[in-house]
Structure 1
Amino acid sequence: MSHARRVLLLNAALGLGIAWFCWAAAHVPWQDPDGQAGDRDGRGPRFGGPAGGGRGPDGPWTTTSVPWTAAPFLLLLALGVALRRARPRTAFVASVVGVGGFFATTSFFAPALLALALTVYPMAVALPVRRWAWLLALLVPAVLAAHHDEAYLGVLEPVVYAELVMALALAVAPVLLVLLRRSRREVERRERAEEVRRSAYEERLRVAREVHDVVGHSLSVVTMQAGVALHVLDKQDGAGVPAEVTAALEAIRRSSRDALAELRTTLGMFREAEPRSPVAGLARLDDLVAALGTAGRPVSVVRDDHGDGTPLPAAVDQAAFRIVQEALTNVVRHADGAGASVRVERRPDALVVEVADEGPGAVVAEGNGIRGMRERAAALGGEVEVVPGPRRGLVVRARLPLVGAEVTS
Structure 2
Amino acid sequence: MAERDDLSRGLWAVVRAMWSEIGPAGKAVLVALAMSAVVALVLGVAIPKQVERHLIDAEIRKLSRIVGAMADAGVIPTGPAQADELNALDEAVRLNLLGSDTVRVKVWLVDGTILYSDEPALVGAKYSLSEERIDAFNGINSVDIPNLSLRENEFERGFPPLRELYVPVADDSGSIEAVFEVYHLAEPIETTVGNIQQLVWASISVGIGSLAIFTASLILVYGRSIANRRRLAEKLFGELVRSQAEERTRIIGSLHDDIGQTLYRIHYGIEDLRSRVDADNPVAGELAHIGELVNEVDGSLRAELRSLQYGTGEELALGSALDELAEVTEMETNLSVSVHVETDCELSPPTRIALYRAAREAMTNVRKHSLATTVEVRVQRQGDQVRLQVLDDGVGIIDDEGLGLTTTRERLEAIGGGLKVKPDRRGGTQFSAWVPASECEVET
TM-score under structure 2 normalisation? 0.38
Q: Which has the higher strand share?
A: 2
Greater RCO structure (CA 8 Å; 6+ sep): 2
TM-score under structure 1 normalisation? 0.41
Asked which structure has the greater CA Rg, the reply is: 2
